[in-house]
Chain A
Amino acid sequence: MSQGISLQPSRQLRRRYRAERRFKAYCVGALLLSIAFLVLFFSDMVRQGHSAFIQTEIQAEVTYNEDTVKFTNESVDESIAPLVSRAFFRSIPRRVDADPSLMGTTETLWLTATADVDQYRKKYSDRLEPEMQSTLERLESEGKVSYGFNKGLFTSGDSKIPSNAGLWSAFVGTFYVMLVVLAVSFPIGVATAIYLEEFAPDNRFTQGVEININNLAAVPSILFGLLGLAIFINFFGVPRSSALAGGLTLSLMTLPVIIISTRAALRAVPQNIRQGAQAVGASRWQAIRDHVLPLSLPGILTGTIIGVAQAMGETAPLLLIGMIAYIPDAPTSMTEAATVLPAQIFTWAGMPERAYVSLTAAGILVLLSLLITLNATAVILRNRFERRW
């Protein structure tokens, strides 16, 4: 009946293979497009931000005496003074207070240049007064200009002087906020997950709680900001802009992430572990506390780290509770006005001076490396300790 069946592709099949190749190309293309975007994005951020990690420094002789403590601009040569960042001059009285023996002496220091000089040298702008240009050229030929690592980016707080602005207060604020997020969302999240996964009866109420948690995970973050504003700040009187207000708001956002991942970790522990423990006389809670929880701990911690990383990058709700204030000094308590890294980035992104663009991109690189470190930790934790049943 079947004579001369050919097993080579027929004409019709060849046409179908063309469609096959087209389809696969779309799929590969989609993935490559996403990856290309990622590459574009990171190279753009590095291109914009790398220069903020270094800063132009000028070598100059600094004289300390009665006059220069009052008129600090006179402490360096008057031709060089306009090139030096105001932040240095402001620090002179402090330096002399700290070390009175400086009085009446002269020392040679590398001084941070102004943002204008810095931007000019980095070729971001060509606007610099001609006199300053010539001074700069002279200093360069004398080898008295160089680039130094911008320590201030990590050690000083926000500033209206771009060459002096740093992330320190944002670091401290982020630390406080994350402390609150961990303290609130970790115990409540894990307890909720244990209840839902191990104790809750399968009824309408439980299903409602589950759907509610899944919905909370998808509620726009800005609505959590409205909640923080209306409930925490206006109703409970938590200080506006404080790390406490921000932390509480972000906690509620992090809660569903922790609950969902903890439930998955608990579910991964096989039922016979619980039954085994209960068979030797442990109660349900003892079986969970002594066997299930230790076994699911890596999964729980992984989910928590991912949730915290997510909260660390969140900005929108914090705008509404006033965490975009100008915070030059690091907060010292939970109730003081604070800012966090993404909010600092947002503030800098809105500044008109060109120097802040580099600063913003540098802040972004710092934030991204923090987040990638956190997430990588989570992945390593999962791969290293997670047991496959």
Chain B
Amino acid sequence: MKGRASAGLVPLGGGAAEIASDGRLTVLPVAEARRTPGPSSGRALVHALFGTPLDAAVTLAVAALLVWAAVPLLRWLVLDATFVGRTREDCTGTGACWVFVRARFGQFMYGFYPVAERWRVDAAGVGLVLTTALLAWPRLPGKRLLAGAALLLGPLLGIWLLAGGGPLRPVETREWGGLMLTVFLSVYAALIALPLGILLALGRQSRLPVIRLVATVFIEFWRGVPIIAVIFLASLLLPLILPNGAGIDRLARAVIGLGLCIAAYMAEAVRGGLQAVPAGQAEAASALGLGYWRLTGLVVLPQALRIALPAITNEFIALVKNTSLVLIVSIFDLLGIAQAALADPAWVGKTWEAYAFAGAIYWLICFGLSRWSLRVERAGPRRAGG
């Protein structure tokens, strides 16, 4: 299977590389082969920059490009921008009108979530951060138990906090929006995609031909169609193929569609990890008398997941970016709310501000995740994931 084009696995300098659904390349398990030697001293730097006439010309050209692009950008973003005020009329400068973002900040973060109930979103967000920190904490006593409990109860608690019920006032999903919706879609689609992806990866490696076939067809199907089409499918077709009256919330439909699609990509990421676990491990476990599920669950999978963690993170980044597609079916995630805010008659014409703000948030999230994944990757498979 190695090197098969659609398989997503390539041999690479003695290791293997994994390509995420958006093409992000992860080198595993051998860390990055070589890096260009960085200049060690000031003199070396000067030499690298101006060593030959060609180098000097390139350096000057790049510098000119930077000045040409960065100076107007900086002026627009900061120097000539307006930060204080309440309405469009306050924006008198030639730069960006950040007043717009400030006025709409609540919507960018929470969508139309009732103002009085927004603490619940904050609480869910804090809960998410704490859970993630807990899971990433190395060597916490009783971690396995805690993690299990957090993974089981956390999502339910999150839904209860956001949607309400019991003592909490119900808030319908049509009122959700903005960054909270982007995070919600990403987290819950990942909660579907990861377990399903692991099962599919195991299925694709199975000895049993029927199971292998089913897993392969499932994976190749979802990887072969555009995610936009999947979201259309989930939003238009799901209500038709379920028994009449089994109404599924439209947000849930988007989560299911994204989850199924990303599961196929996750499966390929996990498979990369499975293939990197030496066959001897499974053989040894089998020789000790472990059955398939215990062998897989206790010996193979923990190692495979550790190896595949960077690739899985990359899939998650791709998922975060792909959540933006729900705006096609009028669910207002971060990018959707930015676009919707542009239709407000009081703020028309603030296109760049809205996009710049939304883009910056996406970038911070995805860049942060990719740095984390890089660190895990560099740390090597042993310590990865603590």
Bind each other:
no
**Chain A interfacial positions (CB closer than 8 Å to B):** none
